[in-house]
Amino acid sequence: MSRKLVRRLLQRTLPRHCLITDPVALKPYETDGLTAIRQPPWLVALPETESQVAAVLRICREHAVPVVPRGAGTGLSGGARPVEGGVVVGLSRLNKILEVDLDNCVACLQPGVRNLAISEAVAEHGLYYAPDPSSQIACSIGGNVAENSGGVHCLKYGLTVHNVVGLKVLMMTGEVLHLGGRGQELDGYDLLALMCGSEGMLGVVTEVWVKLLPVPPVKKVLLAAFAQVSAAAAAVSEIITAGLIPAGLEMMDRLAIQAAEAYVHAGYPLDAQAILLCELDGVAQEVEADAALVERLLRDLGAIDVQIADDPQAQARLWLGRKAAFPAVGRLAPDYYCMDGTIPRYRLAEVLQQIESLSVEYKLRVANVFHAGDGNLHPLILYDADIPGELEKAEAMGGRILELCVAAGGTITGEHGVGVEKLDQMCVQFNSDELEQFERLKAAFDPAGIANPGKAIPTLTRCAEIGGMHVHNGKLPFRNLERF
């Protein structure tokens, strides 16, 4: 590959303002939201049309240049980290809502459309887009597809994969793949689901069709405070066991509560060891009955206080603390390391206790904020990168937490993806045959291996070097959880 030639070809293809080469201007593209892992990009292309995206991919394909697709840069696993000698293709300028089809309740979007902008655009029609990551004010729908993002309402309404009905994908081979669309049924393999969560390793998404749902006529939000984390965790399983599927069921521990309350003054009880936020929605009679049942369950399980918010302002206030939890925790320490793993709901108390033990072992505080209803944990490990060795300690502790999730019968990611952050833990969750199958699948879509290389799928050599292939000496890493 001749770098000079590729640069010259890109300069001929894109308007001057769509190609970044200045080292200072390139710095914001060194990483995504996972700021601890950085790699200076060689070039950043910011195409403004689909035809420009296709032209950039053609040049990169013909000259074997790696391509790293990038959305809004809010990802938390290093999936958009540049590859040495590669081109970062930012899709933020493809930000148009192409169509809103009210008859079929779907919308067609370019990948750079912000998540929240979808609901804002269709609010006048009484519709909205359900998946709502905490970063929804900034994150883009293309990035949501790449990471299969969730949000506080994913328990009832599903992840991105459950709300995307069509995609247009530019393949690295030069082909264009159309999947689904306006109510179109898919035959054969479920390639639409395959693309959701593929982290830009199979192609570049240029159009997304999403489901639009009617805004529920009635909502109630309950906040329950508990004197013990274990009691709050038990309440999660009891609510689901009772046959209820709340729109959202979130949990925060004391450190997260205190940080959020100091930051946004949401009205959280500061004496609680844990709180649950439970949102119920639907028709009035259904919501009233469900709210009465949930309140009774919460009090029977030891809730020391239960608040019920009926009006939108009070509900928004309660959710504001949860939505602002990540930036709020950032006020407690110079840095934090956000993890993302998923476990069976009924093991919440057990795993949280193990995380507390790891916190003591590593001498690093942890604030827990997570989607309790579907067991998606987000431990925030507090550290100071200016103290030698603390970043490494935080990373090591984060790896142990992910291995704990696997041992509990869960997985190393729920919605943040694998990226470069969790490559070692992929060796723990999957065996060599499974990893080889992942590689074969990628090769079928990207024979040249230029689409976001080095992400999500570890090499077998790497797994052998870390000694992490699925089990250690025939035993799971956490012996007390082997009974699962």
Return the amino acid letter for 471: V
CA angle 397, 402, 406 (to 5 degrees): 145
Least confident residue range of 151-160, 351-360, 382-391, 472-481: 472-481
Across 283-321, the runs of DSSP E, i.e. the strands, are 303-309
Q: Counting runs of H as helices and runs of E as strands, what totals does the chain give?
A: 17, 20
Number of domains in the chain: 4
DSSP 235-270: HHHHHHHTT---SEEEEEEHHHHHHHHHHH-----T
Please indicate, yes or no, whether residues 147 and 266 belong to a single structural domain of this protein. Answer: no
367 and 469 fall within a common domain: yes
Q: Which amino acid is at 60?
A: C
d(CA 38, CA 33): 10
Decide if 70 contacts 83 (C-beta within 8 A). no
What does residue 219 show for φ and ψ, rounded to 5 degrees? Answer: -135, 150
Return the minimum-mean-pLDDT range out of 30-39, 133-142, 359-368. Answer: 30-39
435, 460 contact by CB (below 8 A): yes
Residue in the structure block whose two tokens are 């479920």: 190
Does one domain contain both 192 and 290?
A: no
- Give, as one character, the DSSP assignment of residue 209: E
Q: pLDDT by residue (tens digit) across 356-386? A: 999 999 999 999 999 999 999 999 999 999 9
pLDDT digits (tens, 9 = 90+) for 417-450: 999 999 999 999 999 999 999 999 999 999 999 9
Cα–chain center distance at 251: 17
pLDDT in tens, 267-289: 999 999 999 999 999 999 999 99
pLDDT of residue 288: 97
Residue among 138, 83, 79 at smallest CA distance from 323: 138
User: Do 187 and 107 belong to one domain?
Assistant: yes
Domain end position, chosen among 187, 214, 241: 214
Work out the pLDDT band at 1, boundaries 50, 70, 90: low
pLDDT at 468 over 70: no
Tokens (6 digits) for 256: 């997260």
- Of 158, 187, 214, which residue is a domain's last? 214
CB 218 within 8 A of CB 285: no
Boundary residue ending a domain (328, 343, 373): 328
Residues 318 and 348 in one domain: no
Residue 394, CA distances (Å) to 359, 363, 387, 478, 482 in order: 10, 10, 12, 19, 25
Distance (Å, whole) CA 62 – CA 97:
32
Instruction: Write down the pTM of the prediction.
Output: 0.93
Considering the chain, what is the average pLDDT of its residues? 94
CA gap 11, 28 in Å, rounded: 21
Share of the chain above pLDDT 90, in %: 91
Mean pLDDT of 220-230: 97
State both tokens at 359.
Answer: 């916190």
Q: Specify the pairing of strand 204-211 against strand 106-109.
A: antiparallel
**Is residue 311 domain-shared with residue 238, that is, in the same domain?**
yes
Whether 215 contacts 312, CB under 8 Å = no
Shared domain for 406 and 438, answered yes or no, is yes
Q: What is the domain range of residue 380? A: 333-481
Render pLDDT for 71-82 as a digit per residue (tens, 0 to 9): 999 999 999 999
CATH number of the domain that 259 lies in? 3.30.70.2190
Q: What is the pLDDT of residue 36?
A: 78
Q: Which residue has the tokens 């993302």?
A: 340
